[in-house]
Structure 1
Amino acid sequence: MWGDPVDKPKVVLGVSGGIAAYKACELLRRLTESGHDVRVVPTGSALHFVGAATWSALSGNPVSTEVWDDVHEVPHVRIGQHADLVVVAPATADMLAKAAHGLADDLLTNTLLTARCPVVFAPAMHTEMWEHPATQENVATLRRRGALVIEPAVGRLTGVDTGKGRLPDPTEIFEVCRRVLARGAARPDLAGRHVVVSAGGTREPLDPVRFLGNRSSGKQGYALARTAAARGARVTLVAANTGLPDLAGVDVVQVGTAVQLREAVLKAASDADAVVMAAAVADFRPATYATGKIKKKDGQEPEAIVLVRNPDILAEISADRPRPGQVVVGFAAETDDVLANGRTKLARKGCDLLVVNEVGERRTFGSEENEAVVLGADGSEIPVPYGPKEALAETVWDLVVPRLG
């Protein structure tokens, strides 16, 4: 209907009247540069922050706020009918309330009522407004109807205020939109679910400057968390030493050691529907910690480092699940006899699914791609060919969903 005659995915970017409206310019840029035909539909309040000329120049499409403009084209119906995705960023408390109650007093709210495609809301408001029971009920209503409402980020708000309510990073909102578009008209099949994902690699300190660690980048765990959020889940990501930016709509808990990771995972898993242990957890840690840097002594060999076992978090959660029907997924990084070792580990750990992949200095760690076999406690064996880590993440959640209680 609009824009480029080439058949590009059509995205409606709704912008409501919050100070975070300026950040939507970056989201618009990423959508257009990645090949999407974007129609910006701001509210009248949004134009107090970013003018119509800016939206039109960046999108290459006309901008309107009212149903009375270009009446012969019936824009309040046609825009929603032709969209492949509607994303509202920022979505204010007022916009969430109007959408939840079906109000239609401008072009954007009319578009939301006529859209039959996936709808994503990226809220941004002060913490008190986000936590208000009215807002939470409106969010619950929208999610129940199939809309994806991203959890806001925690950080600096307007003025000196800090808390939950900050618009997630536009790059991460774009990643969520990209995944929602890839799934097409499929409903968010993890909506109403809480999932816990661990990512990265633990570090066990030897002294104030040295540690025992591993090569895990955390990218696979982040792909799992990002994909789950795009499928509607409330996601807790326990991240160990990744250095990666926080994800949109994901509660991130930063940890360092295996003991810290265990504590965070057990706490988050108390009400989780699924736990995916993608982090590379150190099997051992130094028995003693040197409070000062260990010095090299001329003519002397270093003292042997005595190791003790770390807790086996995957086996512990699998054996003592905090809620009935909880699905537990483990990861096994192997260097030889990959499938044989994977089946042995699956039986020993007691989890429902085990993602087994071959690793090495130039394989998997730090890469954007992965190749794996997902083994099931029911005897199933699902190979996932070499490809983006998000493809493996989608497969994992495809296998988790039917197993949820």
Structure 2
Amino acid sequence: MSVAGKRILLGVTGSISAYKSALLVRLLVKAGAEVQVVMTDSAQQFITPLTLATLSKRPVLSAFVNTQSDRPGDGSWNNHVDLGLWADALVIAPASAHIIARCATGLCNDLLSAIYLSARCPVFFAPAMDVDMYHHRTTVDNLRRLESFGNHIIEAEYGELASGLIGEGRLAEPELILAKLNAFWAVPSAPSGLSGKRVLITAGPTQEPIDPVRYISNHSTGKMGYAIANAFAKAGAIVTLVSGPTSLPLPDPSIQRVDVRSAQEMFEATQMAFADADIVVLSAAVADYTPAHPADQKIKKKETFFSLELTKTTDIAATLGTRKQPGQLMMGFALETDNERENALKKLYAKNLDWIVLNSLRDLGAGFGHDTNKITVIDKDEQIHEFALKSKDEVAQDLVSLVKKSL
């Protein structure tokens, strides 16, 4: 199953990213969906109803009562109840902070919010706003409230925003929104031992700020962690991916990605999701040290020698290991250059892990940046599982197989 043959109500609200709604309408129609666009008044300041009507092949609705320009010769009204019953899904994209607040609190002063309150179908919100608005406690609480009602949130993405700031708040790309809808109606595959299991995965590097333009980081690309997330998702697990900065696309639309930058942010995000996780895979390359006093302004080049005071970051694996509950499984990674197995075993026990995945930088084609990897896995019983050089997708499948066997 997919969006083909589905009736989609697309709500468009006031946001600069409303231009993406045209692309979304085109994708939905091309995929075989019937699309009825409903616009708020403010949305029409960013994109014209004519554009969306042409693409959807339906008049755009915006008011309770049709005017002559809406439907020539038709003096009827737009029945929000009938529209709510007609739809197989209501998708609000972009969803401004204003519409999110109205829907979360039950305010109903326009056609779109009236349809939302009348809808019996699944509802998807795709937020779009500036980074500070998106992270404001009010917006966060409103999104959680909407989610608690059974609505689906398509998280905003990280990137450059219209304000010039960089952060979370960009509307999810139309292709991702379509993929989320397709995944919602997808026929579930045969259950596996991982179906319904909650898996928490960390991936990518962290960036530790020195000043507003410089940071300490490492060569991790996140490829291994993203491959692992994809493998668990394909096996039926519910995956949360806490990702450091990377250019990689989300490998599976069902994965919930949480974007972070620093080691502290990664610790906080991982800590929040840890209690609900059945399986935890810590594959991120987290900085061991961070500048003790990041500068507020760009540091000017003056002295011949420059000293930087560093302080230890929180050891995520060790901290979570002390909080591990019976039944939880944890897998850590160790990238070593010498005394590989000895150092990996120390980490296995010191951090209360069930497996340690050992990478050696002395193995060609393994480690950061490659599409391949060569791993040795040591479990808590000190059994050693050695694998040949493989693609990272194949390595991820090997790791998932080890977890399945333990279950």
TM-score w.r.t. length of structure 1: 0.59
Aligned pairs (5 A) from 1:4-403: 8-69=5-66, 72=76, 74-182=78-186, 196-198=200-202, 216=224, 218-222=226-230, 235-238=240-243, 244-245=248-249, 250-253=257-260, 268-272=269-273, 273-274=276-277, 275-277=279-281, 285-287=336-338, 307=340, 311=344, 319=352, 348=381, 364-365=393-394, 375=404, 377=406
- Judge conservation of contact 1:197–1:225 (CA < 8 Å) in 2: no
* Equivalent residues of 2:231, 2:393 under 8 A apart: no
Paired residues, number = 306
C-alpha distance in 2 between matches for 1:213 and 1:127: 24
Q: What residue number does 2:312 align with?
A: none
TM-fit CA distance, 1:173:
2.4
- SS for the counterpart of 2:109 is coil
- Structure 2: runs of 5+ lacking an equivalent: 67-73, 189-196, 206-218, 285-331, 359-376
User: TM-score normalized by structure 2?
Assistant: 0.58
Contact 1:285 1:309 in 2 (8 A): no
Aligned in 2, Cα 1:362/1:283: closer, same or farther, shift over 3 Å? closer
Whole-angstrom distance in 2 between the partners of 1:160 and 1:196: 32
CA distances 1:305-327 after superposition (whole Å, capped 9, x unpaired): x756664799569837xxxxxxx
Change (3 A) 1:167 1:38: same
How far, CA to CA, are the matches of 1:59 and 1:224 in structure 2?
Answer: 36
Q: Deviations over 1:316-346 (max 9, x none)?
A: 69837xxxxxxx99999xxxxxxxxxxx977
SS of the counterpart of 2:22? helix
State the distance in 2 between where 1:179 and 1:330 align.
Answer: 33
Deviates more, 1:274-283 or 1:122-131: 274-283
Q: Secondary structure at the match of 1:40?
A: strand
Question: 1:269 aligns to what SS in structure 2?
Answer: helix
The one-character-per-residue Cα deviations of 1:163-191 (angstroms, maximum 9, x if unpaired) are 3322222222222222223389xxxxxxx
Deviation at 1:278, TM superposition (A): 8.3
8 Å contact from structure 1 (residues 286, 308) kept in 2: no
Between 113-122 and 244-253, report the one with greater CA deviation: 244-253
Q: 1:138 to 1:198 in 2, by over 3 A?
A: closer
Structure 1 window deviating more from structure 2 (270-279 vs 88-97): it is 270-279
Change (3 A) 1:61 1:331: farther
Q: Aligned partners of 1:38, 1:246: CA distance in 2, in Å?
A: 26
Shift of 1:361: 5.2
Paired residue secondary structure (1:250): strand
Superposed displacement of residue 91, structure 1: 0.7
- Deviation (angstroms), 1:33: 2.0
- Unaligned segments of structure 1, at least 5 residues: 1-5, 185-192, 202-210, 288-305, 321-327, 333-343, 351-355, 381-405
Shift of 1:121: 0.8
Could you say what the CA RMSD is over the residues aligned between the two structures, in angstroms? 5.0
Q: Provide the C-alpha distance between the structure 1 equivalents of 2:56 and 2:43, rounded to a whole number of angstroms.
A: 16
